[in-house]
């Protein structure tokens, strides 16, 4: 993708080499872009350094106000302008003591909102002056926020997708900065391992895809590259579903016949 060459992107959310953010960073580098990464902890940053030695990285834990305030200073050690942002972070404390959705605690819900949703708005606000006027911002949601299998992360991802529209509107007042989300189907990453019954749901999801093969993380990364590039210049304030057709296949006859 010629268009990405020498552009500079800030990427949040590499924890290991299975992370969606890692696949996106790697693909951007392969396409000639430069990446700045932040990890939640020093350990994450050490891992990033080993995985992507050509990248600049620093710690940003979005639960810490000072880390958000220091964002621009940290980034300015590498560049004074960004061409885009990838927000690929989420966390929910799935408490084994929680009986069902109705039993969601305020503390857990608030923490999950801060990390998985509000942080996008806060980071966009902190970096508003250093985005080039044609920048592209991408966050990662889930393929169906109403699937009722993600615990309280479902409503929070719905909020994230909605925030995308409000952030896009705010940026449109002074720029052509675009903001979109990717609604990704189930993937094999460390975040998904924490979701109750995830393995069973993952195997079932594979049967629901039209091609009978689950999504690869690189397919989500490729969509992110498209959204970060000028090829998607007409797309703004949208959620792009990447689920290998799963959402249209409720009544797959192979599954129905095996009941």
Strand partners, 242: 184
Q: Is 115 in the site for ligand NAD (CB under 6 A)?
A: yes
With contacts defined by CB under 6 A, name the span among 74-82, 85-93, 129-137, 168-176 that binds ligand NAD.
Answer: 85-93
Count of residues for the chain? 259
Among 49, 98, 104, 192, binds ligand NAD (CB under 6 A): 192
CB of 186 to ligand NAD, least distance (A): 4
Q: Is 88 in the site for ligand NAD (CB under 6 A)?
A: yes
Q: Is 13 in the site for ligand NAD (CB under 6 A)?
A: yes
Q: How far apart are CA 221 and CA 55, in angstroms?
A: 17
The residue (of 124 and 140) whose beta carbon lies closer to ligand NAD is 140
With contacts defined by CB under 6 A, name the span among 24-32, 45-53, 57-65, 96-104 that binds ligand NAD.
Answer: 57-65
With contacts defined by CB under 6 A, name the span among 8-16, 123-131, 164-172, 221-229 that binds ligand NAD.
Answer: 8-16
Distance of CA 11 to the CA centre of its chain: 9
Q: How far apart are CA 16 and CA 44, in angstroms?
A: 8
Q: Is 20 in the site for ligand NAD (CB under 6 A)?
A: yes
Q: Is 36 in the site for ligand NAD (CB under 6 A)?
A: no
CB of 2 to ligand NAD, least distance (A): 27
Q: Is 186 in the site for ligand NAD (CB under 6 A)?
A: yes
Q: Is 221 in the site for ligand NAD (CB under 6 A)?
A: no
Using CB under 6 A, which residues numbered 122 to 161 contact ligand NAD? Answer: 140, 142
Strand partners, 142: 184
DSSP class per residue in 59-86: E--TT-HHHHHTHHHHHHTT-S-EEEEE
With contacts defined by CB under 6 A, name the span among 27-35, 50-58, 169-177, 187-195 that binds ligand NAD.
Answer: 187-195
Q: Is 184 in the site for ligand NAD (CB under 6 A)?
A: yes
CB of 91 to ligand NAD, least distance (A): 4
Bridge pairing between strands 56-59 and 82-87: unpaired
Q: Minimal CA–CA distance to 49: which of 59, 61, 57?
A: 57
Q: 46 to each of 25, 28, 36, 54, 147, how far by Cα in Å?
A: 16, 20, 14, 13, 36
Paired tokens of 29: 């580098």
Q: Is 43 in the site for ligand NAD (CB under 6 A)?
A: no
Instruction: With beta carbons less than 8 A apart as the criterion, state whether 29 and 221 touch.
Output: no
Q: How far apart are CA 204 and CA 220, in angstroms?
A: 19
Sign of CA dihedral 57, 116, 5, 127: negative
Query: Which residues of this protein are in contact with ligand NAD, per CB under 6 A?
Result: 13-15, 18-21, 40, 44, 60-63, 88-91, 115, 140, 142, 184, 186-187, 189-192
């Amino acid at each position: 993708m010629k268009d990405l060459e020498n552009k500079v992107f800030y990427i949040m959310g590499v924890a290991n080499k299975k992370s969606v953010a890692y696949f996106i960073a790697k693909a951007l580098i392969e396409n000639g872009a430069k990446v700045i990464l932040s990890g939640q902890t020093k350990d994450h940053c050490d891992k990033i350094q080993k995985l992507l030695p050509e990248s600049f990285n620093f710690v940003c834990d979005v639960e810490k106000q000072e880390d958000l305030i220091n964002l621009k200073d940290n980034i300015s050690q590498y560049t004074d302008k960004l061409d885009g942002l990838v927000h690929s972070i989420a966390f929910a404390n799935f408490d084994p003591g929680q009986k069902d959705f109705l039993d969601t605690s305020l503390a857990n819900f608030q923490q999950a909102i801060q990390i998985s949703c509000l942080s996008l708005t806060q980071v966009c606000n902190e970096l508003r002056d250093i985005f080039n006027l044609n920048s592209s911002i991408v966050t990662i949601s889930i393929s169906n926020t109403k699937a009722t299998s993600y615990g309280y992360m479902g409503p929070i991802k719905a909020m994230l997708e909605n925030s995308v529209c409000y952030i896009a509107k705010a940026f449109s007042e002074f720029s052509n900065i675009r903001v979109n989300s990717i609604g990704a189907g189930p993937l094999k990453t460390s975040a998904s391992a924490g979701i109750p019954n995830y393995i069973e749901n993952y195997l079932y999801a594979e049967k629901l895809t039209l091609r009978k093969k689950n999504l690869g993380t690189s397919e989500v990364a490729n969509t992110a590259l498209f959204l970060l590039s000028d090829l998607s210049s007409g797309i703004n304030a949208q959620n792009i579903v990447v689920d290998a057709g799963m959402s249209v296949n409720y009544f797959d006859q192979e599954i129905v016949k095996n009941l």
